[in-house]
Structure 1
Amino acid sequence: MKATLQLAIEEAFQQAEHARLEKRGADAFQWLERAHILTQRHPMLHARSHWLMLALGWQIGDYREVAGQIPRIVAALLFTKIWVPIGNTGRSRISAFRPLPVPQDIQALLINDDPNRSVLS
């Protein structure tokens, strides 16, 4: 993993934790969604993004989010290297199979991580 991608992932997780501690759930989820997109090709980090979404859902009492994250954690561990819906934010309110547009700043990080792999494939 390139250093720029690793730094972006660390920043997303740190910002999410900071927002969570300040009880800014919406901001924390936005950072976790970013972390999710950035980690989709890395099984343990991908699963971590889902685990933190589950924990945040629990903290704010969003049990639909909690329930939706459980199968996503398992899928992240088992299927990340096989297939992921690129750009999917990882939230329970979005189909786990639905690809979404990748923000431009994230596209640049992902392309630089592996120039032989298309962000959109």
Structure 2
Amino acid sequence: MSNEFRAAIDESFLSARQALGAKSPKRAYPWLERAHILTQRMPLLHAYSHWLTFLAGWEERDYREMLGQAARIPAALLFSKIWVPLGNTGRARVSAFQPMPVSDELKQLLRDSQ
């Protein structure tokens, strides 16, 4: 794993946690989506991205988000090494099986991670 890739993951999680700590889940979601895309192939970090997204849903009292994340946490632990839909943001309002476009920046980071 490159230093740049690890720094991008750390920045995403740190920024998401800071937004959650400030009771600003809407500010956390873009960072959580970024963290999710970057960690999809890493079971523990992938599950952690879903856990933090669950907490954002909790903060908003968004029961759909919480329920969706509750299902995705164990799935992330079980399936991250087998198959993931590239670019999927991990939110409950998106099918867990839907690949999505990836920004050029994230594509480069993902390429560098291999």
Q: Give the TM interval when normalised to the shorter protein.
A: over 0.9
C-alpha distance after superposition, 1:77-105 (max 9, x if no partner): 00000000000000000000000001111
Amino acid corresponding to residue 20 of structure 2 in structure 1? R
Count of paired positions: 114
The equivalent residue for 1:71 is 71
How many percent of aligned residue pairs carry the same amino acid? 54
SS in 1 for 2:15: helix
Q: Aligned-pair distance for 1:24? A: 2.1
Displaced runs of 4 or more, over 2 A: none
Amino acid corresponding to residue 103 of structure 1 in structure 2? S
Q: TM-score, normalised by structure 2?
A: 0.96
Q: Aligned-pair distance for 1:60? A: 1.4
The equivalent residue for 1:26 is 26
Amino acid corresponding to residue 109 of structure 1 in structure 2? L
Q: TM-score, normalised by structure 1?
A: 0.91
SS in 1 for 2:83: coil
- 1:75 and 1:97 mapped to 2: Cα distance? 11
Amino acid corresponding to residue 64 of structure 2 in structure 1? R
The answer to whether residue 94 in structure 2 is matched with residue 94 in structure 1 is: yes
The equivalent residue for 2:61 is 61
RMSD value over aligned CA atoms?
Answer: 0.8
* Structure 1, unaligned runs of 5 or more: 115-121
The equivalent residue for 1:37 is 37
Q: Aligned-pair distance for 1:22? A: 1.9
Larger RCO, structures 1/2 (Cα 8 Å, 6+ apart): 2
The answer to whether residue 109 in structure 2 is matched with residue 109 in structure 1 is: yes
- 1:90 and 1:28 mapped to 2: Cα distance? 13
